[in-house]
Chains A and B, each alone.
Chain A
Amino acid sequence: MATPLSLKELSKKEDRLTSGHRMCSGCGAPTVVKMVMLATDYPVIASNATGCLEVSTCIQQFTSWNIPWIHNAFENAAATLSGVETMYRSLKKQGKIDQEIKFIAFGGDGGTYDIGLQSLSGAMERGHDMIYVCYDNGAYMNTGIQRSSATPLGADTTTCPVGSANPGKVQERKDLTRIMAAHGIPYVAQASPSNWADLMKKVRKAHEIKGPKFLNIIAPCNRGWRSKTDDAITLSRIAVDTCYWPLFEIENGVTKITYKPKEKKPLVDFLKPQGRFKHLFAPENEWLLQKAQEVVDRNWDRLLREEEFTAPKSE
């Protein structure tokens, strides 16, 4: 029986990513991982791309993982887990294993949107029964805040630094969630730790669907975002309420927005508390601020229409 999604019941569950790891205080990623793991009532094996989560949770003889865990390299968490899952199927077919085991890969946005995209695409296309979770903090935070294709428009990073000739990142984010949906896999969703019940329901749902699943989860990084250390959940909530990070799922081609803010907040509410966007509030960058809002509006509008368009026809 699945653990009820109540804080009281969930708090009784054993942590699968235990405390004592070395992630920065206030980091959103371990919270995301803990939520994913708390929502998982099955025996589970995880793979982990190189990145903050990996280097901080398994150092030498110490590991924070009390589940089987494998880190291979930066770009291949999906391919690696596809190997683990295939061995599981092989041994199960041979009658050497009878337990039901689930498989989850974790990667940051650098390891997923950029260097690991091919490995992820291949694993999804092949149909392995696994969930890939991208914890998206919008840059290569582990190596020191370099821009990735997930970095939002206008952000100041160490490889697109704001300078006299450059206003920060001049490109829009790659829409990875939609790219994964275009693979035609059975389940794709976007989630946020601010909406924990929504996040955990999505993990639960993904586990019950056979085949490849992809979850993109926002994970604020106070170092890279230059925000307060106790703001990870607040900022991810504002990201959702501004529709910068909409919560939705695409199940067998049907798009459903799982949370619609009563009042869509202006994007500046999300940008203002973050030092990486400070320069956007200078008069000469007003155009960029406007463009950033336009991008959010355009994507949100498109998502609303997509929900309508893909809804099953009523009889």
Chain B
Amino acid sequence: MPKIVAVTGNEAVAEALRQVNPDVCAAYPITPQTDIMQRFSSFAANGKVKTEMILVESEHSAMSACVGASAAGGRVITATSSQGLALMWEILWIASGDRLPIVMPLVNRALSAPINIHGDHSDGMGARDCGWIQLWSENAQEAYDNTIQAFRIAEHLDIRLPAMVCMDGFIISHSITRMEYLEDEKVKSFVGEFKTLNPLLDIEKPVSYGPLILTDYYMEYRKAHEHVMSKVPGVVKQVADEFEKMTGRKYGLFETYRLDDAEVGIVVLNSAAGTTKDVIDEYRAKGIKAGLLKPRLFRPFPYAEVGDALKHLKAVCVLDRADAFGGSFGPLFMDIASSLYIQDKKPLMFNRIYGLGGRDYMPDQAEHVLNELVETAKTGKVQSVKEYIGVRE
């Protein structure tokens, strides 16, 4: 029987990692992720996992060691947040370019300066294009479930790409919630034995990782990477189906909430989706046809499917918990706009930036956005394409 527990997001992710029981873990502290690696270190120190720890001197070395360990041939993890991910950035591209299935929880936190330890999505968005798979999670249960599924997706022999599992710093990582843990045996058999592919440790078949490839073939490698990424959504769905059979919990490329018959919709990532769903229920009770779309597989982004799910709406607001400075719009907005561009019929769209540096996202902000959506749908006019909300003027 699954176990009902009251735990924090960090605790849930650490538990998933214990159950997966990887071969090597590189650990380095950074708020708000520290708690995951601290708990995992305690599992290792008490013989609860077989994992060998590498207690590195920076996140740059954490990812570098993960690349070495993964290429050596085994299951490898680390975890990070914010500046830590920024420091890893160079090596993120190498991990994906070398097709190494490293799994890394990312506890989303704002980027400096000013320094801020709280949750927003600037870190994950900064690593958006580095060829990793990104799964985003609304709550501790999703972070736990996504962590377990991430191993299957990343290690799939058609994929072999690194994956990060995102959840909101503090809001989810440090709040206690009710959720279900699976039995150890079930996780173990779901994830299965790690299958090595061209391991460095096979002395009989020496391989060279990380060659120099210039103008003559570099582009073909990049195209191949894009081709592999295009196969990810299919694998994500297949793994989600198996997961649903085991747990009854349904996952897809994204979640829709009261969207099918909706006239206006909000697109939002991670924890803010929960608050938004509550407010949508209130508006539905008032007879307003509102709905929500919450991306789960953010990279690769399922453009066609997302566009298809939103095209019938009259108006869409994309809520971004990060800004893309100088790019005019928030990063999620740009992806949603791209998804809808290919559709014949397009809703009116606007972008609201909220919750930066962990600022609370309150029901009144969702109400404000929904009111604006209703007005936009009615008048057929977007008042202002991009605004910050919940901010002092």
Nearest chain A CB to B169's CB is how many angstroms away?
26
Q: Are A72 and B212 in contact (CB under 8 A)?
A: no
Q: Are B206 and A65 in contact (CB under 8 A)?
A: yes
Q: Are A87 and B211 in contact (CB under 8 A)?
A: no
Binary contact readout B52-77 vs A (1 if CB under 8 angstroms, 0 otherwise): 10111110110011111111111010
Binary contact readout B88-100 vs A (1 if CB under 8 angstroms, 0 otherwise): 0011001000000
Q: Which residues of chain B are within 8 angstroms of A119 by Cβ–Cβ distance? A: 57, 60-61, 64
Q: Are B64 and A83 in contact (CB under 8 A)?
A: yes
Q: Are A88 and B72 in contact (CB under 8 A)?
A: yes
| Residue of chain B at shortest CB distance from A70 | B209
Q: Are B201 and A88 in contact (CB under 8 A)?
A: yes
Q: With A60-B212, A90-B51, A101-B203 known to touch, is A72 a contact of B72 (CB < 8 Å)?
A: no
Q: Which residues of chain B are within 8 angstroms of A90 by Cβ–Cβ distance? A: 23-24, 50-52, 74
Answer yes or no: A76 CB below 8 A from chain B CBs. Answer: yes
Answer yes or no: A216 CB below 8 A from chain B CBs. Answer: no
Nearest chain A CB to B80's CB is how many angstroms away?
15
Q: Are B50 and A68 in contact (CB under 8 A)?
A: no
Answer yes or no: A300 CB below 8 A from chain B CBs. Answer: no
Q: Which residues of A from 33 to 67 have beta carbons under 8 Å from B?
A: 43, 45, 47-48, 54-55, 58-61, 63, 65-67
Cα A75 to Cα B211 in complex, Å, equals 16
Answer yes or no: A295 CB below 8 A from chain B CBs. Answer: no
Answer yes or no: A126 CB below 8 A from chain B CBs. Answer: yes
Answer yes or no: A86 CB below 8 A from chain B CBs. Answer: yes
Cα A54 to Cα B65 in complex, Å, equals 18
Cα A47 to Cα B201 in complex, Å, equals 12
Nearest chain B CB to A306's CB is how many angstroms away?
28
Q: Which residues of B from 196 to 248 have beta carbons under 8 Å from A?
A: 200-203, 206-214, 216-217
Q: Are A80 and B67 in contact (CB under 8 A)?
A: yes
Task: Please tell me which one of the listed residues A48, A60, A84, A93 contacts residue B200 in the complex, with CB atoms under 8 A apart.
Answer: A84
Q: Are B58 and A81 in contact (CB under 8 A)?
A: no
Q: Are A60 and B68 in contact (CB under 8 A)?
A: no
Q: Are B50 and A76 in contact (CB under 8 A)?
A: no
Cα A66 to Cα B206 in complex, Å, equals 6
Q: With A91-B23, A101-B201, A118-B57 known to touch, is A73 a contact of B212 (CB < 8 Å)?
A: no
Q: Are B69 and A84 in contact (CB under 8 A)?
A: yes
| 23 contacts across the A-B interface (CB closer than 8 A) | A43-B203, A47-B68, A58-B212, A59-B212, A60-B214, A71-B210, A72-B68, A73-B94, A76-B61, A76-B91, A82-B65, A84-B68, A84-B200, A86-B52, A86-B65, A87-B69, A87-B74, A87-B201, A90-B52, A119-B60, A119-B64, A122-B58, A123-B61
**Residues of B bordering A, CB below 8 Å:** 23-24, 26, 50-52, 54-58, 60-61, 64-74, 76, 90-91, 94, 200-203, 206-214, 216-217
Given A84-B71, A119-B57, 13 more contacts at CB 8 Å?
A54-B210, A60-B217, A73-B64, A73-B91, A76-B91, A80-B67, A83-B24, A83-B64, A86-B24, A87-B68, A87-B201, A91-B201, A97-B201
